[in-house]
Structure 1
Amino acid sequence: MKKTRSKFVAQLRDVIINVGFLYLENTPVDKDIISKLKAQIPDLFALPQEQKDNIRMANSPHFLGYSKLGMELTKGAVDYREQFDFGTSCISSYKPGDPEYCNIYGPSQYPTDQQLPGFRTLHETYLTQLLTLATDFIHLVSEAVGLPPDALDQFYKSDNRMHLTKIVKYPVQSHSQQGVGAHYDGAMITFLLQASEEHHGLQAQNLRGEWIDVPPKSDTFVVNFGRSLEFVTQGVVRATSHRVLAPPLDSKTPRYSVPFFYSGMDLEVKVDESVLKMPPEILKLRDGRGILPSTEAINYPEYAHDVAGCHPDVAERHYPELFRELFPNGMPLHGVAY
């Protein structure tokens, strides 16, 4: 067992530093839960438009809920996806007088049990199991980069925090190949369930800047590492640019996917003040990788002039002063996803 673990950690170290993407199999997540969730996803998107609009994201100060097709941009182009954003179980700790960011975490909006029987319970069970997997996995990540297993726990001390998930539909369409454009995830780690095994579309950029297909594989999650983890590890962890191509026109069904973002750091944490002291031998491995190529994904300097406001309609309704500051000319046509 010890030998198996040490071998896994060594393989993980190589992936973390040199690749940034991996398939993870043999997880403790219940396969029956996954199968039932996959079966219900088409029914979720098949709900009458009025029912979906009743839980639209604009209703939620926590940026959770339904988004219509084509509501977001990446790198200035429309992302052709329809989606529901949910979070792990959480209540808002916001009180009048608190900074507005204290209201970012809060409860999700779900269809009623009459509209989609059993879905909420099923999905919340799935999220609970994913959270357990992610918490265990991030300890292995710490170990793989030469840190104590609990080194990253300092970012997750609060009992009231929220990790995010999306359920996404990429329809067959002729407007563009872009399901979602090239981007990095901001979270520490993402666990992606590719819920349509007949559809390829996910791609990642390798160390040469080439786009590589990441096709669905049964009983696996695709794991990728986000910019937050890259930053706090002094660039040791490699966050990888990735994108999703829309299903081709000859497809008979849409593509569905379910990313889970291990993102819910304590609201008072400032990542730029929390860089970890990395072991010299690990920094040497990072430096041996050489200079990483430019990618098509948005990078940190662009945040200085691009407002990463995925859903300005939420800000206009729930954070009007901040909305006027960021959007002095009024509501833009789309939110900027990345």
Structure 2
Amino acid sequence: MTDSSSSNFSSIPILDWSLLSTTEGHAKFVEQLRHALINVGFLYLSHPPVAREDVEALVEYTPRLFDLPHEEKERILMANSPHFFGYSRLGAELTKGKTDQREQFDFGTPYENQWKPGDPEYLKLWGPLQWPPEELLPGFKATYLRYLDQVEQLSYDFIRLIAEAFEVPEEAFAPFLGGDAKPKPGVLQHRSKIVKYPARKEGDSDQGVGPHFDGGFLTFLLQVSDHPGLQVQNLAGEWIDAPPVPGTFVINLGKALETVTQGLARATSHRVLSPPPGSTPRYSIPFFQSIAQEICIGDLVLDFKPEILKLKDSRGQTGVVDSVNYQEYGQYPSGYVNLIGRVKSHPDVAERHYPDMFKQFFPQGLPAQGSAY
């Protein structure tokens, strides 16, 4: 457990969702949450309200997804999708100049695309998903959609708890969530990935994915396999392990939440190290909570009681961290900020579906790999 009197952290706190079932437990949970939000930016959530059988089924499907025949994966390449959904080959992305050794499928919650000619291009970002054929993975799509629906509901419940921890009305977050603190399904599209980090070869880089921040409000990570590898950077710049804890999600805060809370909530730099040579692959499933695309969060920064805002002073100044992405928040609509990141990370998708932005960011033509920063 992290020492709540410390302005730095050397481990990730564990919060128990079942505490919320009593008045006394609820108050304790909110107090622990406030500390994690301000001083750590990461936490484990035990006993999350997501059906265990759906989690277990999704865990069982995960290696089978990557074992699909090569030609079936290529049929749902991300380059086919203007919404950046689908399959990405191993080593397709760079972070801070190094190749990320991961293979992944991007999915999301169901959404009907609303873009029409004349609308901002970023409205193309949300839309239909690409799925592997049902006959190759029977039940996978239904299981994953059931899982995503439950995590989406949890993400809204969690935002209301954050409002309570920071002593603001839950409606304060409604503009970022399409006008409702608990939107109906289909109002927003949240993204999710299923990721495989293969064991590295002798002498290779150990970068599964390099240091970065997440972009939206909250990320809910299911660490599928029991491999360590996730690391979180504290204020001193030290890398702290966040190993898998059975029966938990890892939750971390995105740059959008940090921005709208005047830095009260802390987005924390993190990375993933590849499994060592001879190991089995590491698998994980992150869920990224989105916010309304047209919102320019710099215009909607929340107000807090002085005594709440002062709580971040005890944290001290953030030291040098290795992550620099999402600096455009506060300048542009969030949809455009996310589109910039996607275009830079996946230039093959941009070349096909966003040619003007492709020329802007890649005047020399298609690079061998994408790099958000």
Are residue 155 (structure 1) and residue 155 (structure 2) matched? no
1:32 corresponds to: 53
Q: Tell me the distance in 2 between the aligned counterparts of 1:311 and 1:323.
A: 10
Q: Tell me the distance in 2 between the aligned counterparts of 1:95 and 1:160.
A: 17
Unaligned runs of 5+ in 1: none
Structure 1 93/48 Cα, relative in aligned 2: closer, same or farther at 3 Å? Answer: same
1:327 corresponds to: 362
1:244 corresponds to: 272
Are residue 292 (structure 1) and residue 314 (structure 2) matched? no
Q: Tell me the distance in 1 between the aligned counterparts of 2:326 and 2:103.
A: 26
Q: Tell me the distance in 1 between the aligned counterparts of 2:304 and 2:364.
A: 45
Are residue 201 (structure 1) and residue 222 (structure 2) matched? no
2:15 corresponds to: none
For residue 170 of structure 1, the aligned residue among 193, 197, 218 is 197
Code of the aligned partner of 2:262: Q
2:109 corresponds to: 88
Q: Tell me the distance in 2 between the aligned counterparts of 1:59 and 1:300.
A: 25
| Correspondences of 1:88-127 after superposition (within 5 Å) | 88-127=109-148
C-alpha contact (below 8 Å) 2:235/2:320 kept by paired residues? no
Alignment deviations for residues 91-134 of structure 1 (CA, whole Å, 9 cap, x no partner): 10011221211111001101011121111111000100100111
Q: Tell me the distance in 2 between the aligned counterparts of 1:169 and 1:230.
A: 29
* Paired residue secondary structure (2:136): coil
TM-score w.r.t. length of structure 2? 0.86
User: Which structure is higher in RCO with an 8 Å CA cutoff and minimum separation 6?
Assistant: 1
How far did 1:4 drift?
1.2
| Correspondences of 1:32-71 after superposition (within 5 Å) | 32-71=53-92
TM-score w.r.t. length of structure 1? 0.95
Are residue 278 (structure 1) and residue 278 (structure 2) matched? no
Q: Tell me the distance in 2 between the aligned counterparts of 1:156 and 1:164.
A: 14
| Correspondences of 1:126-141 after superposition (within 5 Å) | 126-141=147-162
1:191 corresponds to: 220
Q: Tell me the distance in 1 between the aligned counterparts of 2:103 and 2:196.
A: 5
- Percent identity at matched positions? 54
Code of the aligned partner of 1:206: N
Unaligned runs of 5+ in 2: 1-21, 180-185, 332-339
2:353 corresponds to: 318
For residue 282 of structure 2, the aligned residue among 232, 249, 255 is 255
Code of the aligned partner of 1:327: F
List structure 1 runs of 4+ shifted beyond 2 angstroms. Answer: 299-304
Code of the aligned partner of 2:219: T
Aligned length: 333
How far did 1:207 drift?
2.4
For residue 248 of structure 2, the aligned residue among 220, 227, 232 is 220
* Paired residue secondary structure (2:345): coil
Q: Tell me the distance in 2 between the aligned counterparts of 1:148 and 1:90.
A: 28
